[in-house]
Amino acid sequence: MRLLTIAALLATLPLAAAAAPTWQTISSEPGKRIELDRTSIKRDGNTVQAQGRIVLEKELIDTRSGGGYRVIEAITRYDCGSRSANTIKRIFKKNETEVVREEDLKGSELPVRSGTLDDKVLREVCRPPKESQAEIAQKANEAASQLKQANEALLKAEMAKAEKPGPVKTADAGHGATPAAAKEEEKSAIPSIRPNIKPALEIPKTPPPPPPAPPPQKVAAPAKSATVVVRHSTPAAKPKQTAKSEGYMLELAHTDPAKQHAGIHWDYEGVGGPENWSKIDPKNTSCAIGQRQSPIDIKEGIKVDVEPIKFNYRPSTFRIVDTGKTVQVAIGESSISLTGKNYELVEFHFHRPSEEKVNGQRFEMVVHLTHKSDDGQLAVVAVLLERGNENPLIQTLWNNMPLEKNLEVSPPTPIIDLMTLLPASPNYYTYMGSLTTPPCTEGVLWLIMKQPVQVSQEQINIFSRLYKNNARPIQPTAGRLIKEGR
Ligand SMILES: [Zn+2]
């Protein structure tokens, strides 16, 4: 029985070794390591396809799947002549084996900037053939000897176990009967998947120019029995293409979202869109992982008597600014009181359509009046706007719309009275949520007036000229309690 086990194990070893990539560290820096699977390298003239990966020290959260990952593998095509890269696949993994998410990319070829992670891999895979041959042969020999040692150690361990009385494994124990044990064995048999098995290679300071095309040569890699055809041809100049983050392999692929999106401003669509808010700035983590986010679809609230909000809004002159995300207005001292607490009005602004839904329906627009208490608690009063008659207060604001973004206008004369913006009914919905813009801070008390007020089509059109859609998508309610004033 025991002999059978070992025989089965030995029979499966070479297969297991051949199937697994042999990761070789090509660069180490604080927090991460860049590795290359040389057996994955496929050359076609000046084009080299290779599988690389980043191994992170700390796990990061994949915002799309919610899973944690420490390894990002990427298959990238490099053009050694024009020094461009095109990543075609990325795999996010929790560890060596567990896949969190895979993505196929339709990126275009992008120029590789010097000093980036892509640059390091490109230099590795585009080395001149002479150097590569010798190196590949050497690496292959090293790998072979490591594999041999590991196999011998494993065999010894198996023999030692076999001599001890113990639970008897079935004949096919190599890979299956005891998955955990088999996994361990597989791991130790493949030294190259262990982290940092090799020191970082010396990377030439400048990319070596490809020499005139030599005849194709074959180099046999003994251990892996992998045949690598190394061939370089004269570089063919390629037209430069506009940079898109999609095409980069490791550098833009992952890990350092803050750096990756540095300089990108949050927005309602495109690369700065809501799904990327958390990646733009580490301060925005709540946008992705918060459990009490806004806006929500307001429905199935408990119908109760809610304490009326006391509005202490005073007629005032105003300051108005087009922030690039909305039209925002500030007025003189005003506040609300609720449950014995006073909240100062900070500003109010507009969204189109309304961010919040009520029973699945959005409104044409919404006004958010943001308040803050002395102890820092935020309370936002939402006034829903439906199409109807012209709204005099909104008309005053639109009349004073700044001509330029981020240029605050403080007209000296018109006075606005925010009390005239409020609906007749004091009833409202309330729940705990968040800011609907980065950093998506939670702990915000939402007070949504049940009765909408009217705004004319013309007034909606004016706002649409500036902002067609500045509403964050609906967030999961996740079992939060909603109160509905009855
Ligand atoms: Zn808002």
- pTM score, whole prediction: 0.50
Q: CB–CB of 125/41 below 8 Å?
A: yes
CA of 355 to the centre of ligand 1 (A): 8
Same domain, 301 and 251: no
Residue 271 phi/psi, 5° resolution? -65, -25
Same domain, 375 and 471: yes
Domain total for the chain? Answer: 2
Q: Is 173 helix (H, G, I), strand (E, B) or coil?
A: helix
289 assigned to some structural domain: no
Q: Residue 12 has what pLDDT?
A: 44
292 assigned to some structural domain: no
Same domain, 372 and 443: yes
Average pLDDT score over residue span 73-81:
76
Rg for the chain (alpha carbons), in Å?
A: 31
Q: Among 31-35, 47-51, 184-188, which range has the highest average pLDDT?
A: 47-51
Same domain, 430 and 305: yes
Please report which residue ranges of 50-128 form alpha helices under DSSP H: 117-125
Q: Is 380 helix (H, G, I), strand (E, B) or coil?
A: strand
Token pair recorded at residue 145: 């000897």
Same domain, 162 and 302: no
87 assigned to some structural domain: yes
**Enclosing H/E stretch for 371:** strand 365-373
CA of 471 to the centre of ligand 1 (A): 8
CA of 257 to the centre of ligand 1 (A): 25
117 assigned to some structural domain: yes
Q: How confident is the model at residue 166 (pLDDT cuts 50, 70, 90)?
A: very low
270 assigned to some structural domain: no
Same domain, 217 and 326: no
Same domain, 318 and 214: no
Domain boundary residue, one of 255, 281, 309: 255
Same domain, 335 and 232: no
Closest among 40, 396, 466 to 249, alpha carbons compared: 40
CATH number at residue 55: 2.40.128.710
CATH number at residue 478: 3.10.200.10
List the end-to-end C-alpha distance of the chain, in Å, as a whole number.
76
How far apart are alpha carbons 81 and 456 in whole angstroms? 60
Same domain, 236 and 325: no
Q: Which residue has the higher pLDDT, 386 or 12?
A: 386
Same domain, 101 and 170: yes
Q: Residue 254 has what pLDDT?
A: 43
3-state helix, strand, coil in the chain (%, to 5): 25, 30, 40
406 assigned to some structural domain: yes
CA of 316 to the centre of ligand 1 (A): 22
Same domain, 44 and 108: yes
pLDDT tens sequence across 269-320: 999 999 999 999 999 999 999 999 999 999 999 999 999 999 999 999 999 9
Could you write out the DSSP letters of every residue in 23-35? EEEEEEETTEEEE
Domain residues for 75?
A: 1-255
Residue 257 phi/psi, 5° resolution? -55, -35
Q: Is 158 helix (H, G, I), strand (E, B) or coil?
A: helix
Look up tokens 């459990």; give the residue.
291
Residue 112 phi/psi, 5° resolution? -90, 125
CA of 206 to the centre of ligand 1 (A): 51
CA of 301 to the centre of ligand 1 (A): 22
pLDDT tens sequence across 83-105: 667 777 777 788 878 887 777 76
CA of 437 to the centre of ligand 1 (A): 7
267 assigned to some structural domain: no
CA of 167 to the centre of ligand 1 (A): 65
| Mean pLDDT across the chain | 75
Domain boundary residue, one of 222, 237, 255: 255
Same domain, 317 and 449: yes
Q: Residue 402 has what pLDDT?
A: 97
Residue length of the chain: 486
260 assigned to some structural domain: no
pLDDT tens sequence across 334-367: 999 999 999 999 999 999 999 999 999 999 999 9
Q: CB–CB of 433/472 below 8 Å?
A: no
CA of 266 to the centre of ligand 1 (A): 14
CA distances from 311 to 182, 308, 381, 422 (A): 69, 9, 10, 9
DSSP 201: P
Residue list, CB under 5 A from ion ligand 1: 368
How far apart are alpha carbons 61 and 69 in whole angstroms? 6
Domain boundary residue, one of 199, 227, 255: 255
CA of 60 to the centre of ligand 1 (A): 29
Q: Residue 472 has what pLDDT?
A: 98
- Roughly what angle, to the nearest 10 degrees, separates helices 179-189 and 2-19? 60
